[in-house]
Amino acid sequence: MKKFRILLLILMLSTFSMLVQGGSSSRLPKDNIFGWVVTSVNNTNFTTLDHPLTNGNTKALLFVTPAYGLGGVSGTPSYYNRGHGVWYNNATSRWTIFNQDQSLIGNALNAAFHVEVRSPSSNTFTHVSTGSNIAGSLTYIDHPLTNNGPNRLVFITPTLTANGITYNYTNQPLGVFYSNSQNKWAVFNQDNSTMAANLAFNVYVLLETNSTAYIHTNTVSSYITTLNHPLLNNNPFARMIVTQRFNVYNNHHIGVWYNNVSGRWTIFNQDNDTMFVGASFNVNILEDNSEPVRQNLVNGSFEVESGVDNNVAIPQGWFASNTAQGYRQCNVYGTLLNVSYGGDCALVMKGAPGLSATFAQTYRPQVGSNHTAVRMSAMIEGLQQSGGGTIFARVFFTNGGRGILRLSSTEINDGTYGWKFIYAERDFGQAIQRVRISIVTQDPTGRLYVDNVRLETYNPTLRNTDELIPMP
Task: Please give the span between the terminal C-alpha atoms of the chain, in angstroms, as a whole number.
Answer: 27
In this prediction, residue 295 carries a pLDDT of 52
Contact 376, 453 (CB under 8 A): yes
3-state helix, strand, coil in the chain (%, to 5): 5, 40, 50
Contact 243, 155 (CB under 8 A): yes
Residue type, 190: Q
SS3 275: strand
SS3 222: strand
Averaged over successive runs of 10 residues, the pLDDT of the chain (472 residues) comes to 39 34 32 79 83 85 92 68 95 94 84 91 95 97 96 97 92 97 97 97 95 94 94 81 97 93 92 97 72 60 66 79 86 62 81 86 86 87 77 94 83 76 86 93 81 84 38 26
In this prediction, residue 299 carries a pLDDT of 85
Is CATH 3.30.70.920 what the domain over 2-11+291-463 is classified as, yes or no?
no
Pairing type for strands 138-141 and 224-226 reads unpaired
In this prediction, residue 466 carries a pLDDT of 31
Instruction: Give the integer Cα–Cα distance in Å for 200 and 345.
Output: 33
Contact 206, 245 (CB under 8 A): no
Closest-CA residue to 181 (of 131, 125, 136, 128): 136
Provide the 10 A C-beta neighbour count for residue 468: 17
In this prediction, residue 465 carries a pLDDT of 30
Instruction: Give the integer Cα–Cα distance in Å for 263 and 280.
Output: 21
The DSSP output letter for 105 is G
Give span(s): CATH 2.60.120.260, the chain. Answer: 2-11+291-463
In this prediction, residue 288 carries a pLDDT of 38
Contact 405, 374 (CB under 8 A): yes
Residue type, 427: D
